Structure 1
Amino acid sequence: MNTFLINTVILLALVVTLGYLNEKVTRFPDEIALMMFSIVIGGVLVISGIAFQGTESAMKFLSGLKYFDLEKFLMEGVLCFMLFAGSCHMRLLDFKTHARTISLLAVAATFLGAVFYGLLFYGAGKLIGLSMTLPVCLMFGSIVAPTDPIAATSILKKFNLPSGISFIMEGESLLNDGVGVALFVFFSGMVTAQKSGGFFQVMAKELLGAVLVGIFVTTVCFYIFRHTKDEARQIFASLLAVSLSYLLCENFEFSGAIASVVCGVLFSALRNYREFKGEALSLEQFDNFWSVLDTLLNSVLYVMLGLSFIHILQMPHVLVLSLAAILANLIGRAGSLGISVLFTGPLPDGYDKISFIKLLTWGGLRGGLSVALAMSAGSMVDENTCNIIMGGTYAIVFFTTVIQGMTMPRVYQNIQKGIGKKG
């Protein structure tokens, strides 16, 4: 029987059923609900597996249901489309108003966050006896540094965040995906430099090659996108651009993730430039398609993460490692924001710098990109180190999505009360 179709049916059934249950009963943000319910289901499956140990058919079914190929789903399937969807919606005409703040957060704060996290986790590793080098810890920092645009946007819209602050948070999340991928290539180049012939050679090949491929393919495909009057063909052209860029990069051993982000940013820039020049572009179907596709892929991803989460708990010293990863993430995020906002100038909507740091620290949710980068690190490090990176990444994604996501409204209300008293 077709395994792919079976897995697709199971995942879609979980996405639809759990989403409907959440809509009618619990009413959490969808990402939180899908992950929480899937973790519960994963736990039930483990208990059921123990109960049905003597039944071979039951064990085979439960094993197949628990071990979806998450790495293949991301790295060989949907990662390029998720990255493109996250970066193709930015309206550069609106971006201009907050360009300085968003650029500082997306570039400087992401870089500093990766470095701070790497240093903190390196120190924590020394204390608890982990054999992780500083370059590996910095690579780990780049994995968890970029925030997730879908989760952040979905949760923020639930409590009517002021437009200026909301746009800054969404803009940072959309742009720092590409920065995070570039940092991952940068620091992973340090880790693999001895095997690959040198750090700068790795950087030039992975980063520059991906950018050139993304620019070339997008330029060709956007010509069709611009001149066709068929809205479906516009969508097909964008799908061709990102998938072809990713495929070429995989073939030439460039970074397909960076090429996908380049495609998305270029599509956004070119379409906004044409609109600025007064050229009418009918893009309602295009925007709706990529919005729905992004939501679907992220929903499936959160279900898969939830089902896989139970296996992370079986790692040795998982609680200590998870606590160290979560604390390092919070401290690193707050520290990177604290330095970056010194150079942002006045903030919108009456926010002072301290309130802004608090909101963005707790609102810095992590998602699918971090998991994908963690998985791709597996080929660069030994099995034990890979397990540590995967466990820490899972812990951060779970904590930021579920714990921070669920408490975000209360944190926001407290910050707003503080701003009101100062005003």
Structure 2
Amino acid sequence: MSGFLPQAVILLFLIVLLGFFNEKVTKFPYEISLMLYSVVIGAGVLIFVSVLSDTPVRKMLENLQVFNLEELLMEGVLCFMLFAGSCHMRLLDFKKHARPITLLSIVATLLGAIFYGVLFYAGASLLGLPFTFPVCLMFGSITAPTDPIAATSILKKFNLPKDISFIMEGESLFNDGVGVALFVCFSGMVTMQENGSFLAVMGKELFGAVLVGVLVTAVCFPIFALTGEGNRRIFVSLLAVSLAYVLCEHFGFSGAIASVVCGILFSALRNHREQKGKPIDLQEFDTFWEILDNLLNSILYVIMGLTFVHILQMPQVLLISCFAIIFNLIGRSSSVGLATLFAGKLPNGYDKLSFIKLLTYGGLRGGLSIALAMSTREMVGTETYNIILGSTYAIVFFTTVVQGMTMKQVYQRIEKKISEG
């Protein structure tokens, strides 16, 4: 069984079945339940396949776990997921919290990649792994960016204070471009290519993407605002984000950042019209993007869960993954801590220590990290690639399932301390 439609049927069947079971029985956060149960199903399929002979049933089950996740993310759904997460952002709130969001999305991401790279290089040296320092820095850039999809879809369910929640969402949306730029810079060191200095890469990845996002929005939004058809507004938004992403891919900019820029500008222009007394009826638009965002998130988590079992079969991956998870927590807390020192007064009565604890534990990872890890296949040897991919999967799984499921308890303890203080 191969092709798009059979795989789509399998994915939709799992999304419906697992979602319904979780709704009626376990009642976990939705995204966590999809990944967790998909891992269990993937393990069961792997065990069942191992005892079958070469039959059509075996081939069908093997195809169940053959999804090109990198292609799906980087060339399919990532731009739409990022647009959906940012098209409802409150620009006035961003202006209010520009300083902490900028520090966290740029400074903390850079420091996190460096800290993680140094820690993993030390660990790899102790274990005798064939990792050079540039490879470890590249690995750090893969795991440093927090995932906007996971952050906005999981953390908002815990009734975080409005301003703190916005800062966390803003960081996770804007640090993708920084992470991609760091990845390009450090992967250039690995492959001994002349990719330019960090500032040059940042200029190309980040500012080029911003320019594309602004120009595409300037062309598309007037049609969006002037048309009287709700369906056409949806089509225009789809055109804007996909066109921005394709142009960035052609010119070598960050398509992820361009998608976010389009979403923010659509939201800002929409709010501007409302303030001028010229509101647009966007009920269909909002409903469409909420449904699409939920569907794409569901597909992402199911595929990641199904493919996770294959990663566990790689040599030494379990031991190395434990080191990777610990180093990730240390690198995240250290980088956020240093960036927070310069963030000024924090909202909602949060002191710096409580803020650092919340952002460290709320630093979930997701599809972008997996896609970047997969793109290292041609840069490093098979053993190094397997370690990078396996460790990245472990970090994504741990932050999404373990941290995601216990985030509410951590937040409640932090809130209790703040209220008592």
Q: TM-score, normalised by structure 2?
A: 0.92
- Which region of structure 1 is more displaced relative to structure 2, 14-23 or 113-122? 113-122
Q: What is the aligned-residue identity percentage? A: 67
- The question of 1:74 aligning with 2:63 is answered no
- The question of 1:97 aligning with 2:135 is answered no
| AA aligned opposite 1:91 | R
Q: Distance in 2 between matches of 1:202 and 1:148?
A: 21
Residue 173 (structure 1) aligns with: 172
- The question of 1:341 aligning with 2:337 is answered no
Residue 50 (structure 2) aligns with: 50
Residue 124 (structure 2) aligns with: 125
Aligned alpha-carbon RMSD (Å): 2.3
Residue 25 (structure 1) aligns with: 25
Residue 7 (structure 1) aligns with: 7
- Which region of structure 1 is more displaced relative to structure 2, 260-269 or 402-411? 260-269
Query: Which structure 1 segments of 5+ residues have no match?
Result: none
- Which region of structure 1 is more displaced relative to structure 2, 106-115 or 243-252? 243-252
CA contact (8 A) 1:189 1:203 kept: no
Q: Distance in 1 between matches of 2:2 and 2:363?
A: 39
The one-character-per-residue Cα deviations of 1:166-186 (angstroms, maximum 9, x if unpaired) are: 222222222223332333333
Q: Distance in 2 between matches of 1:100 and 1:67?
A: 43
- The question of 1:362 aligning with 2:364 is answered no
Residue 262 (structure 1) aligns with: 261
Q: CA, structure 1 residues 379+55, in 2 after alignment: closer, same or farther (shift >3 Å)?
A: closer
CA contact (8 A) 1:181 1:258 kept: no
| AA aligned opposite 2:363 | G
Q: CA, structure 1 residues 374+197, in 2 after alignment: closer, same or farther (shift >3 Å)?
A: closer
Q: CA, structure 1 residues 156+290, in 2 after alignment: closer, same or farther (shift >3 Å)?
A: same
| AA aligned opposite 1:174 | L
Give the Å deviation of 1:376: 2.6
CA contact (8 A) 2:79 2:245 kept: yes
Q: Distance in 1 between matches of 2:306 and 2:242?
A: 28
Give the Å deviation of 1:287: 2.6
Residue 282 (structure 2) aligns with: 283
SS of the residue aligned with 2:228?
coil
| AA aligned opposite 1:303 | V
Within-5 A mapping of 1:166-245: 166-192=165-191, 194-195=192-193, 198=196, 206-207=205-206, 209-245=208-244
| AA aligned opposite 1:405 | G
Give the Å deviation of 1:98: 2.3
Residue 408 (structure 1) aligns with: 407
Give the Å deviation of 1:203: 6.0
Give the Å deviation of 1:283: 2.7
Q: Distance in 1 between matches of 2:168 and 2:298?
A: 21
SS of the residue aligned with 2:375?
helix
Q: Distance in 2 between matches of 1:60 and 1:336?
A: 46
Give the Å deviation of 1:231: 2.4
Q: Distance in 1 between matches of 2:55 and 2:416?
A: 59
SS of the residue aligned with 2:341?
helix
Give the Å deviation of 1:204: 5.9
Q: CA, structure 1 residues 378+159, in 2 after alignment: closer, same or farther (shift >3 Å)?
A: same
Q: Distance in 2 between matches of 1:373 and 1:271?
A: 33
| AA aligned opposite 1:121 | F
SS of the residue aligned with 1:378?
coil
Give the Å deviation of 1:353: 1.2
Q: Distance in 2 between matches of 1:343 and 1:80?
A: 32
Q: Distance in 2 between matches of 1:167 and 1:198?
A: 34
Q: CA, structure 1 residues 263+189, in 2 after alignment: closer, same or farther (shift >3 Å)?
A: farther
CA contact (8 A) 1:15 1:300 kept: yes
The one-character-per-residue Cα deviations of 1:113-142 (angstroms, maximum 9, x if unpaired) are: 122112211221222122222232222222
CA contact (8 A) 2:185 2:196 kept: no
CA contact (8 A) 1:83 1:257 kept: yes
- Which region of structure 1 is more displaced relative to structure 2, 387-396 or 230-239? 230-239
Within-5 A mapping of 1:250-399: 250-399=249-398
SS of the residue aligned with 1:225?
helix
Q: Distance in 2 between matches of 1:222 and 1:379?
A: 40
- The question of 1:135 aligning with 2:134 is answered yes
Q: TM-score, normalised by structure 1?
A: 0.91
CA contact (8 A) 2:82 2:260 kept: yes
Give the Å deviation of 1:247: 2.2
SS of the residue aligned with 1:214?
helix
Q: Distance in 1 between matches of 2:44 and 2:195?
A: 48
